[in-house]
Amino acid sequence: MKSLRDKFYLTSGYLSGLCIILIMLIILAQIVGRFFGFIVPSAEDFSGYALAAATFFGLAYTFREGGHIRVILVIQNWPPRLRYLQELSVLLLAFALVSFMTFYCGHMVWESYIFEEVSYGYVPIPLWMPQVPLALGMFAFNLALLDDLIRMLRGRTPSYRTHEDELNLEEV
């Protein structure tokens, strides 16, 4: 089961990278199009959708790899019990907030689908389509937070801290 979760987080990271490549291709097509005298309709809209998808898809993978910004300057010198309580409380708060956001991202997709909302750009797109990656990315992030929260409650080191410790060893 662990390898399935890890593959899920890795897939989320790959999808994020794929969205970045998509942004590059859209902008490249727009540049080439201007050179040859044609436009790429709604290029800005599609680039914006891909940017949002890249951001949200990248949340879980980045969290698992210890890439989120954490200010450890103070807590690295705390006693282990106090640091454990601080990290546990932060993980609980983060899990609650991300659960709330995940629910409402899914709700936003559902409402956009039910009410048949479309974008205002040159090319009208049903809004639920670019919103699905946001909801999936939040779900993956929520799962990653829950995974590390359970790891901490079982007395094991959370994944982000393992990678963080590896990065600190490389700097020395």
Check residue 166 and give its pLDDT: 62
DSSP for 11-42, please give it. HHHHHHHHHHHHHHHHHHHHHHHHHHT---TT
**Structural domain of residue 53, as residue ranges?**
2-171
Which residues lie across from 126 on neighbouring strands?
118
**Domain count within the chain:** 1
Burial class (CB in 10 A: 0-12, 13-18, 19+), 158: buried
Tokens at residue 148, please?
């590390």
Check residue 171 and give its pLDDT: 54
Check residue 151 and give its pLDDT: 94
Check residue 74 and give its pLDDT: 74
In angstroms, the CA 60 to CA 133 distance is: 13
Burial class (CB in 10 A: 0-12, 13-18, 19+), 139: buried
Chain-centroid distance, C-alpha 146: 15
Check residue 68 and give its pLDDT: 75
Check residue 169 and give its pLDDT: 52
Mean pLDDT, contiguous 10-residue spans, the chain (172 residues):
85 97 97 93 94 97 83 79 92 97 98 96 93 97 96 90 64 51
> How does 34-48 read in b/e, with b if 16+ C-beta sit within 10 Å?
eeeeeebebbebbbb
3-state secondary structure of 83: helix
Residue pLDDT, tens place only, 127-153: 999 999 999 999 999 999 999 999 999
